[in-house]
């Protein structure tokens, strides 16, 4: 979403300014009735008409007072369009770039996501793994995070993490070093360089991947926001790997969200003499997390049965015939094999150059298909690792 916002998208953007994400009451109301009526009610200072039970109206009346506090900070639709011109974009549920996995959060789903970076968030997250862990990582934890991230990135997997010091930074850097895509999910605005020492890292992530936040540009991180943010890390990724974590730590909070979402949860063991391995051992022993000792373990655990991970010729494939709006499947387990590519997608695949790159219009011309169909097929092919964007457009993905 980079052009003019429609009413519902503007309302969702506005809610990121007015309310904290993870507010289950507001989340449920927005899911049930849309963001625009909620924004109108907050602006009007009235309880929405669609609430008819006395209890619901009373609860809403109390909550409205919180949501109204920040009305003075609310930007106009033009302000938001200005942000978008400055390299920041908005993704709302239903937008092509909205990762369908987030729907699993239910009422805790973000109202909208603010994005900064070159990668398409939805496509990036199809084959993605969250690598999380301690800020005060040991050399062992940093090494493992970096190695795992580089290895999964080399096989076409996106590394999702939180942009923090320690394990997060090592994971992002490992993915970047392998020319992979990495997603940083922040607890502050995507334009806020936090931590300050990571300003360059966040810019590098934006250049090669995408920086994501549920909070609007300019908003600062708080302790609570880190915890709220963690559910989004877990929800965006197909699975979560804990590299190093103390017994009661923020990294375990992400792991708990992954578990509660029913997502594959993994942990890397370490010396029992290290307090920073205690949380990993808890994940393995008490939370039935999978013990992983290599990136291959991670990919194997996240891949559908029988598919050779990282090998596109054997990897699962979305059906590019999926209609607009649904786009490529986001659950790897539900994806189909390459043989199941429809004729249009197969034609696009054949038209893709293996070196250099090609614009979508030229691909359309080679494939003999209309540009819209080609764009849809390219998205699906990228999502399952057959195609990738490059400076010159699109190309076959290196296997």
For the beta carbon of residue 180, count every other beta carbon within 10 angstroms: 23
Handedness of CA 388, 390, 396, 398 (dihedral sign): negative
DSSP letter, residue 289:
P
Which residue's CB is nearer to a copy of itself, number 91 or number 268? 268
**CB of 288: closest distance to a copy of itself in angstroms?**
11
How far is the C-alpha of 338 from the C-alpha of 315, rounded, in Å? Answer: 7
CB of 374 to a copy of itself, least distance (A): 44
By C-beta, is 136 or 390 nearer to a copy of itself?
136
Q: Which is nearer to a copy of itself, 72 or 273 (CB)?
A: 273
Local structure of 101: helix, strand or coil: helix
Angle, helices 199-208/167-177, rounded to nearest 10 degrees: 40
Q: Give the C-alpha separation, 128 to 297, whole Å.
A: 14
Q: Rg of the chain's alpha carbons, rounded to an integer?
A: 21
Q: How far is the CB of 144 from a copy of itself (least distance, A)?
A: 7
Q: Which is nearer to a copy of itself, 208 or 282 (CB)?
A: 282
For 346, the token pair is 């197969």
Tokens of 213: 């936040």
* Under 8 Å between Cβ of 265 and 258: yes
Taking the complex as a whole, the smallest distance from the CB of residue 273 to a copy of itself amounts, in Å, to 7
d(CA 301, CA 207): 29
- Rounded to a whole number of angstroms, the minimum distance from the CB of residue 293 to a copy of itself is 4
Instruction: Return d(Cα 12, Cα 21) in angstroms, integer.
Output: 11
Using alpha carbons only, what angle is made at residue 157 by residues 147 and 142, rounded to the nearest 5 degrees?
25
Whole-number Å distance between alpha carbons of 326 and 341 = 16
> Under the rule (CB under 8 A), what is the footprint of a copy of itself?
140, 143-144, 268-273, 277-278, 281, 284-285, 290-291, 293-294
| Least distance CB 149 / a copy of itself (angstroms) | 15
Beta-strand relationship, 182-186 and 158-161: parallel
3-state helix, strand, coil in the chain (%, to 5): 50, 10, 40
Strands 158-161 and 128-132: parallel
* Closer of 277 and 315 to a copy of itself (Cβ): 277
Rank residues 292 and 364 by Cβ distance to a copy of itself and give the closer one: 292
Adjacent-strand bridge partners of 130: 160, 240
- Residue 49 C-beta: closest distance to a copy of itself, Å: 56
Give phi and psi for 160, each to the nearest 5: -105, 135
Q: Among residues 277 and 330, whose Cβ is nearest to a copy of itself?
A: 277
**Closest distance between a copy of itself and the C-beta of residue 159, in Å?**
18
Q: How far is the CB of 164 from a copy of itself (least distance, A)?
A: 22
The residue (of 166 and 209) whose beta carbon lies closer to a copy of itself is: 166
Nearer to a copy of itself, 144 or 184 (CB): 144
């Amino acid at each position: 979403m980079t052009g003019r916002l429609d009413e519902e998208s503007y309302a969702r953007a506005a809610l990121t300014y007015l309310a904290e994400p993870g507010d289950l009451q507001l989340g449920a109301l927005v899911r049930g009735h849309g963001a625009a009526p909620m924004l109108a009610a907050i602006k009007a200072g009235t309880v929405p008409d669609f609430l008819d039970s006395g209890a619901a109206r009373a609860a809403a009346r109390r909550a409205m007072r919180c949501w109204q506090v920040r009305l003075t900070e609310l930007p106009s639709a033009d302000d938001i369009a200005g942000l978008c011109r400055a390299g920041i974009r908005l993704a709302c549920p239903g937008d092509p770039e909205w990762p369908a996995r987030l729907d699993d959060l239910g009422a805790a789903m973000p109202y909208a996501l603010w994005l900064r970076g070159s990668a398409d968030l939805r496509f990036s997250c199809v084959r993605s793994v969250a690598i999380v862990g301690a800020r005060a990582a040991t050399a062992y934890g940093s090494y493992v995070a970096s190695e795992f991230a580089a290895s999964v990135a080399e096989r076409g997997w996106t590394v999702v993490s939180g942009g923090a010091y320690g394990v997060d930074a090592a994971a992002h850097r490992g993915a970047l070093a392998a020319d992979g895509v990495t997603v940083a999910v922040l607890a502050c605005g995507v334009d806020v360089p936090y931590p300050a020492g990571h300003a360059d890292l966040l810019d590098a992530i934006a250049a090669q991947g995408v920086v994501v936040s549920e909070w609007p540009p300019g908003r600062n991180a708080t302790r609570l926001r880190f915890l709220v943010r963690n559910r989004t890390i877990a929800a965006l990724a197909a699975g979560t790997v804990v590299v190093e974590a103390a017994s009661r730590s923020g990294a375990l909070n992400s792991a708990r969200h992954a578990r509660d979402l029913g997502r594959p949860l993994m942990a890397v063991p370490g010396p029992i003499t290290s307090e920073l391995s205690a949380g990993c051992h808890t994940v393995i022993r008490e939370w039935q997390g999978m013990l992983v000792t290599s990136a291959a373990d991670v990919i194997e655990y996240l891949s559908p049965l029988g598919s050779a991970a990282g090998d596109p010729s054997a990897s699962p494939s979305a059906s590019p015939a999926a209609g607009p709006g649904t786009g490529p499947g986001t659950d790897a387990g539900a994806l189909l094999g390459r043989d199941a590519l429809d004729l249009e997608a197969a034609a696009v695949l054949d038209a893709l150059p293996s070196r250099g790159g090609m614009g979508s219009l030229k691909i359309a011309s080679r494939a003999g298909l209309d540009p819209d169909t080609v764009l849809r097929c390219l998205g699906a092919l990228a999502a399952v690792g057959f195609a990738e964007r490059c400076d010159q457009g699109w190309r076959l993905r290196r296997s």
